[in-house]
Amino acid sequence: MPQLDTSTWLITIVSMIITLFIVFQLKISKHSFPKDPESKYTKSPIITTPWEKKWTKIYSPLSLPPQ
């Protein structure tokens, strides 16, 4: 039974990969991508809250007196 000659497999596989790479590059280069969307400046409404201008003390649980 004759053995399979694998001496040309490397050249075949490398040439196939290079060919696929070139084909994909050509397909991608012909594809037109949409332009980046321009961001619209949206001004957020300023909401005033009563505690914005007041100083409020925040108590840490450790600084509270023991109960």
* CA dihedral of residues 8, 10, 15, 21 (deg, nearest 10): 160
Residue 39 vs residue 17, higher pLDDT: 17
Is residue 1 included in any domain, yes or no? no
> How much is the pTM?
0.44
| DSSP annotation of 49 | -
- Give the residue numbers spanning the domain of 36: 6-59
Query: Which structure tokens are listed for 40?
Result: 């619209």
34-63 pLDDT, tens digit per residue, is 777 776 666 666 766 666 565 656 666 666
Residue with tokens 């596989």: 13
Is residue 33 included in any domain, yes or no? yes
The total number of structural domains in the chain stands at 1
